[in-house]
Structure 1
Amino acid sequence: MGCLFALLGFAADAAAGPRQHWFETFKRSADDRDLYRFLYALPKGGDLHNHLTGSNFSEWWYELATDKALNGGYEYYTRVRIDNCVGYGQDMFGFAPYLLYFRNLQASSYQKLSECEQGEYKKISALNAAEKAAWMDSLRLDKQHEGREEFFQTHWQRLNELGRNPYINAEMLVKNMQAFAREGLTYLETMEGTRFYTRPDGSTFAPDEVADIFRQRLAEPDAVATGVTARMQYYLLRFIDNAEEDLEWIYRFVDANRDLFVGINMVGREDNDKGHPRRFLPTLRKLRRDIPGVPLAIHAGEVDEPNHHVRDTLLLGATRIGHGVNLIDDPDTLLLMRNSDYLVEINLISNLLLEYVDDYREHPFPEYLRMGIPVALSTDDRGMWDSNMTDEYFVAVKEFNLSWKELTSLAHNSLKHSFVDDETKQELLQDYARRLERFQKRFQRSGMQGLSDVVPRSHSFICQQYALCDFSSPVMAAH
């Protein structure tokens, strides 16, 4: 442990006198392209706030939807026409509204449609170039007028049965691990479940079968070769009618599968008041009487109005707060969290695109950071914003002028506050300290020339917004 603290203290000691620090010199002289490449190469910790089905890029979805060798032998169809096959009022505006292009079905569901409805659908593998481009755009926020409603009310409904294939989701998990490894992350704690998955014939997988599919995929050589440790949080959709019963089932399932699932996360729109945190307090107290504590990391404060959801989330026993945007408006809870063991998972790009802030400068992240509230950056539903962890780091440094100590604390916090077992956590922290020391020495010795082999992903959100990346380069496109 003494060695660990010595290594972790390296960055903090070097930050003394920040205006004389080499990182300050680099920031003053670097253009945006160099800053982005530097941050892409920078060793990072983990992504703690990551929705698995929302973290997959459209290109990945298309590849797996059309490759039966990778997706378990499924075939998929998507709606490309509206022929008014159902009457007004017949599921026109429900969870899966009829007037929704690019809703995806597996073949067994397609076969059950009427002849008229089948005429509205087309095999995803048979889409022409324009249809394919529109299909991929339908799964990301890529237009100025799209925002919160597009995300919550159409993206998930379009995915539909693509997200109910355990082989696709297991493959996506590994793709995320590979991509994060290129950015210097070594830990991923993603949110997913094991229920409601369907076989090609439409029958249902047992939850234990799905858990084993994830385990088996994570044990394969290409997953292990990433060097990324992956664990899962089981999600609870907080506002549904039977959410308390769901929580009981999930709690017991996580307890029985702690090698794979390390916690529970309550998800869903907070502006739906049926999911308010205190609703679940009696259930959690009952569960904790008989079952050793299951870690909780709960969405709270991702809402426009001031309220006490963050405070009430802490009352539930959560040690990590997802988003926490309106924590700034709850001074008592803000003071409680200073220099504490509670972490706020910060999602800068998500909060901008979903309109919880109108501008990065409105975000309370730097106030939390500089008040001593532990924070870490995370990517949320990165596939739907076409972003990565480097994008989050770039926004944080460019908008808020982070010091080296502040910058490196983000990765350290993401590992320190992970729900992984203590032995693995210490290994991850020690590894991060070693990687950070090597990176710093390399950069101080060779500068940007030492990062000439670093090739960021070419079509990240920030690359597009700031025109940082060379989209014409075949090497860049490969990433």
Structure 2
Amino acid sequence: MFYRWNGRRPAHLLCRFLFAAALTLTSLSVFSADMNTWFREFKQSASDQTLYKLLWSLPKGGDLHHHLSGAGYSEWWYDIATRPEQNGGYRYYTKTRLLQCRGYGTNEYGPNPQNLLFRTIQASTYAALSDCEKQEYELLRDLDDNTRLAWLNSIRLDKAHEGRNEFFERHWQRLNELTSNPHIGAHILLKNMQAFAAEGLQYLETQVNVDRGITPQGELMSPQASLKVFTDMLASEAARKAGVTVRFQYALLRFLPHAEQHLRWMYDFVDQHRNLYVGINMVGREDNDKGYPLRFLSVLRDLRRQYPAINLAIHAGEVDEPNQHVKDTLLLGAQRIGHGLNTITDPDTLLLMRHGPYLIEINLISNRLLDYTEDYASHPFPEYLRTNIPVALTTDDRGMWDSTLTDEYYVAVKEFNLSWQELTGLARQSLKHSFLAEDDKQAALNAYEQRLRQFAETLARDGVSSLPQAAPKRRFICDYQPTLCHQG
């Protein structure tokens, strides 16, 4: 039996819909083919500056692999940390002298090394120091220009000899209690939203933990109190004006002794906050074998007996040696793989990932700066892309690389000669494999296609010269392509 709606049979409406959809798909195919031809010719004649300008304004989809605590540029951290009106009323001190106050033989590899310059603490921690240790610290806001620059450089990879050990074992230890202030975290997120909006991003899936917040008095904040700081920011006019949709993941540092218990806690927390938290991630150095994937298999299976499904995006394959971590991570239930570098060494898993449903989050700049690849030519990204493994470009810890998402796109185009179809397909995959609810995901994909078509129409009508200038280039891209940063 047919049911009528507005006097028309649904079967007739379906036929009309399918016909319209077919016309739309045909139009999109012609549009894509035309842009492929245009972009190929454009790359052959465009200067580095013009190519970067195009990529800066290019509509982008989502950034799915984004560590919030690693995504703040050094000057953002300093600016917010030295402004009590922005940071919740906190004051911070940083270590600028080494007086060996605790003597010799102390644990320099633990959570509180005494011989690490620019380790930053809040006023309540400073007040509890010995008189000798207080002499090692200065108020962060009072640093002279040279010391301030050294502090800024201490939380980004700015020297040739710095790599993964500096990043994993020094940057976070220097930030220290700055990352325990949810007000700073919320402002870092807002600045990310504003900066991403300027380069065409529409969706951000970032890692936000709220169970380690500390009040100005040094007391532990409740997760709900910390989360409210973030939700208040997201409801602000500044956040709405940025126009970037944001969802959170909860991140598990997987090699810690009690990681299983923490996973149980966060599973329950995410389940209770599904309006904002869309998944769980597992992070931390993969060469620390205490965090091996199958450690969590029984716990996850137990949790899946108790809770509705929760999305998993897990770091795997970010190592030098071949192993089966990616395969084991898929067994855990992951829908997305962070990095996935050594998937190329596991043929069975590589075949499993072709055509989906799993996506690999590609971090070209991160993998190069941390020496997981010798050069960009050795990165497996083009092999994944061109054998139909879903991939998306992501920024990882962009604040510490001093880079942007446009930089990732620029490197990909310069190193691997991406076509227009490949370039825009990366954005589509990022939205298709996001953890947004299905209705929101489809709306995001539709919005992306509309933005992309408008962008192409602008190019056809007014040319690349009509596009806005990119923001001032950051350190990474100036080192990678000096011509972008030197006029004349």
- Normalized against structure 2, the TM-score is what? 0.94
Q: Relative to structure 1, is the Cα distance of residues 6 and 414 closer, same or farther in structure 2, using a 3 angstrom cutoff?
A: farther
Q: What root-mean-square deviation, in Å, do the aligned CA atoms of Structure 1 and Structure 2 show? A: 1.8
C-alpha distance in structure 2 between counterparts of 1:5 and 1:57, whole Å = 46
Per-residue displacement from partner, 1:259-289 (whole Å, max 9, x unpaired)?
1111000000000001011000000000001
Distance of 1:403 and 1:11 partners within structure 2: 16
1:214 aligned onto 2:230:
yes
Q: Match of 2:476?
A: 461
Task: Give 1:192 deviation, angstroms.
Answer: 1.8
**CA distance in structure 2 between the aligned counterparts of 1:213 and 1:4, rounded to whole angstroms:** 44
Measured in 2, the distance between the counterparts of 1:352 and 1:7 equals 40
| Structure 2 partner of 1:99 | 115
Tell me by how many angstroms 1:70 deviates.
0.2
* 1:11 and 1:408 in contact (8 A); partners too: no
* Structure-1 separation of matches of 2:49 and 2:21: 33
User: What SS class does the counterpart of residue 290 from structure 1 fall into?
Assistant: coil
Q: What is the total number of aligned residue pairs between the two structures?
A: 471
Which of 341, 355, 370 is the aligned partner of 1:339? 355
Name the SS of the counterpart of 2:392 in structure 1. Answer: strand
Task: Tell me the equivalent position of 2:397.
Answer: 381
Q: Aligned residue for 2:280?
A: 264
SS in 2 for 1:387: coil
Match of 1:128 among 128, 131, 144: 144
CA contact (8 A) 2:182 2:213 kept: yes
1:454 to partner: Cα distance: 2.5
For the residues of structure 2 that align with 1:5 and 1:131, how far apart are their CA atoms?
63
Instruction: Write the distance in 2 (CA, Å) between the matches of 1:456 and 1:90.
Output: 45
Q: Is there any run of 5+ residues in structure 1 with no aligned partner, and where?
A: 474-479
Higher mean displacement: 308-317 or 436-445: 436-445
Aligned mates of 1:13, 1:338 — CA distance in 2:
26
- In structure 2, what is the Cα distance between the partners aligned to 1:107 and 1:6? 64
Candidates 344, 352, 367, aligned match of 2:368: 352
Change (3 A) 1:318 1:414: same
1:79–1:101 contact (8 Å) kept in structure 2: yes
1:436 paired with 2:452, answer yes
Say which of 65, 86, 97 aligns to 1:81: 97
What is the 5 A alignment of 1:288-307? 288-307=304-323
What one-letter code is carried by the residue in structure 2 that aligns with 1:455? A
Aligned-partner SS, 1:234: strand
Q: Do residues 255 (structure 1) and 271 (structure 2) align? A: yes
Question: Contact 1:106–1:161 at 8 Å: present in 2 too?
Answer: yes
Residue aligning to 1:477: none
In 2, are the aligned partners of 1:459 and 1:471 still within 8 Å (CA)? Answer: no
Contact 2:260-2:299 at 8 Å conserved across structures = yes
Match of 2:237, as an amino acid? Answer: P
1:305 is paired with a residue whose SS is: coil
* 8 Å CA contact 1:391, 1:460 repeated in 2: no
Q: Please, which moves more after superposition, 390-399 or 459-468?
A: 459-468
Aligned residue in 2 for 1:165:
181
Are the equivalent residues in 1 in contact too, given 2:50–2:464 (CA < 8 A)?
yes
Residues 197 and 242 in structure 2, CA contact (< 8 A), matched pair in contact too: yes
TM-score (norm 1): 0.95
Q: Please give the secondary structure, in 2, of the residue aligned with 1:102.
A: coil
Alpha carbons of structure 1 residues 17 and 443: separation in structure 2 relative to 1, 3 Å:
closer
Alignment pair present for 1:65 and 2:81: yes
Displacement of 1:15 = 4.2
Structure 2: how far apart are the matches of 1:273 and 1:127? 40
Question: What residue in structure 1 maps to residue 377 of structure 2?
Answer: 361
Amino acid at match of 2:370: L
2:199 aligned partner = 183
Cα gap change, 1:303 to 1:10, in 2 (>3 Å): farther
SS at match of 2:305: helix
The DSSP-based 3-state class of the residue aligned with 1:73 is: coil
| One-letter code aligned to 1:266 | M
What is the deviation of 1:461?
1.4
1:31-88, Cα deviation, whole Å (9 max, x unpaired): 1111111000000001000000100000100101100000000000000000111122
Distance 1:275 1:224, change over 3 A: same
Task: Give, in angstroms, the shift of residue 11 of structure 1.
Answer: 5.5
Cα distance per residue 1:302-357 (max 9 Å; x no partner): 00010000001100000000000000000000000000110000000000000000
Q: Distance in 2 between matches of 1:406 and 1:472?
A: 30
**What is the CA distance between 1:449 and its match in structure 2?**
1.7
| Superposition pairs of residues 395-474 of structure 1, within 5 angstroms | 395-451=411-467, 453-470=468-485
- CA change 1:144–1:262 in 2 (3 A) is same
- Assess if the C-alpha contact under 8 Å between 1:37 and 1:456 holds in 2: no
Match of 2:250 among 228, 234, 237: 234
2:218 matched residue in structure 1? 202
How far the C-alpha of 1:421 sits from its partner, in A, is 1.2
Which is greater in Rg? 2
User: How far apart in 2 are the matches of 1:469 and 1:176?
Assistant: 23
Instruction: Output the CA distance in 2 between the equivalents of 1:126 and 1:471.
Output: 33
**What secondary structure sits across from 1:53 in the alignment?**
helix
Secondary structure of the corresponding residue to residue 116 of structure 2: coil
Counterpart code for 2:481? Y
Cα shift at 1:469: 4.3
Equivalent position SS for 1:78: strand
For the structure 1 residues 280 and 292, does the alpha-carbon distance in structure 2 shift closer, same or farther, using more than 3 Å as the test? Answer: same
* Corresponding residue to 2:42 among 14, 26, 36: 26
8 Å CA contact 2:48–2:484 kept in 1: the answer is no
Distance 1:7 1:295, change over 3 A: farther
Q: How far apart, in 2, do the equivalents of 1:79 and 1:62 lie?
A: 14
Where 2:161 maps in the other structure, the secondary structure is: coil
Change (3 A) 1:126 1:9: farther
Q: AA paired with 2:42?
A: F
Residue 460 of structure 1: CA displacement?
A: 4.6
Cα shift at 1:93? 3.1
Amino acid in the other structure paired with 1:21: T
